A and B are shown apart, each in its own frame.
Chain A
């Protein structure tokens, strides 16, 4: 029974991936992509990776979907692509490329099947007591490979900086609303968004959750508020926005470097305060991720508001 479900899931994912690339309109492609993200989240749940499922559902499907829709709003309306008949030699070429690409996939599959054991789970669990935190995933993210996570935050920060350098962002535009129900819903749901983000942060210490899903939920709440007419100052050039966006990477880097002063190695948390430090980093990172994603959404809405 479970096998039937997994097979259906895999087939649906392949179909949606195909639709995402070959749909007749961009709108259909975006919707297919968002559904694809949701099914990927489901696949991660089936693989017992709840953390990644949470992050995928919130980031891959939710926030990315909002960004894609905002980008779609800036494009001129497109005509429906007519299905052209492809020439036989083009089909042959496509087939040849497909076969060429199949070879590395087969090689990868062979390599995966050759792997001994089931990943690094046993090693992580064995050294979990040294990490001073309950959740193995958070231990990996904030302790065993903390510098990778810091660099991920810096990459996100650079993305925001690059987007800002492309031009000034307007303050949030007053959206056109066909019905008064959206602001009412937002008033009702915004506290729930904040509560969920806080819950995910708190839960990251001992279970699935953490800064990335929490930040994505926070950003989703902000985006919903903007879409229902909440006013906020333009992010770029605003000191408050800059501080909030830098908070996570800054706190992370300060802890990493600060322990040097106390006589420890770079990124070596002092055992007595390790848990506290990691929770602090997690909270700062979650807030920053939320505001960074919102800033990206602001930038995507920018030109749209000036055109209308």
Chain B
């Protein structure tokens, strides 16, 4: 059972790191602010969810799991809001979305 939990936890952690990595590559390589936001906000939310789930499996306590869930929710809400603020500010400043 322990082996199963550790294995699942490790898999979730690796998945989360892969998503963080792809988001970072997107941030560095994508052409404009909107596509970068797209890469960053989506992958970060997913990656954080995976990593929190992995840590929750390791925590072994309901209270810690709930705290991790709270952190994940707060970061999700804050991330979505700040992304929309950055995109809104960019549009208001006249930044045109990138077109091929």
Q: Which residues of A contact B (CB under 8 A)?
A: 177-179, 181-182, 184-185, 188-189, 192
Contact B77 A179 (CB under 8 A): no
Would you list which residues of chain B between 41 and 100 have a CB under 8 Å from chain A? Answer: 74, 77-78, 80-81, 84-85, 87-89, 91-92
- Would you give 18 A-B contacts (Cβ < 8 Å), ordered by A? A177-B88, A178-B87, A178-B91, A178-B92, A179-B84, A179-B87, A181-B80, A181-B81, A181-B85, A182-B81, A182-B85, A185-B77, A185-B78, A185-B81, A189-B74, A189-B77, A189-B78, A192-B74
A-B contact count (CB 8 A): 26
Whether the pair B77, A178 counts as a contact (CB closer than 8 A) is no
Partner of B85, one of A178, A188, A189, A192: A178
A179 to B91, CA, bound (A): 11
Q: Which residues of B contact A184 (CB under 8 A)?
A: 81
Q: Is the CB of A178 within 8 A of B78?
A: no
A261 CB to closest chain B CB (Å) equals: 45
A-side contacts of B92, CB under 8 Å: 178
- How far, in whole Å, are A69 and B23 apart by their CA atoms in the complex? 26
Complex-state Cα separation, A182 to B84, whole angstroms: 9
Q: Are B89 and A178 touching (Cβ within 8 A)?
A: yes
8 tightest A-B contacts by CB?
A178-B88, A179-B88, A185-B81, A178-B89, A181-B81, A179-B84, A181-B84, A178-B92
Whether A179 lies near B74 (C-beta < 8 A) is no
Q: Which residues of B contact A181 (CB under 8 A)?
A: 80-81, 84-85
Tell me the bound Cα distance from A192 to B87 in angstroms: 26
The winner among A177, A181, A184, A192 for most chain B CB atoms within 10 A is A181
Chain B residue contacts of A182, Cβ below 8 A:
81, 85
A177 vs B84: C-alpha distance in the bound complex, in angstroms? 11
Q: What is the CA–CA distance of A157 and B77 in the complex, to the nearest angstrom? A: 35
- Chain B, Cβ-Cβ closest to A192: B74
* 1/0 contact string of B22-33 vs chain A (CB within 8 Å): 000000000000
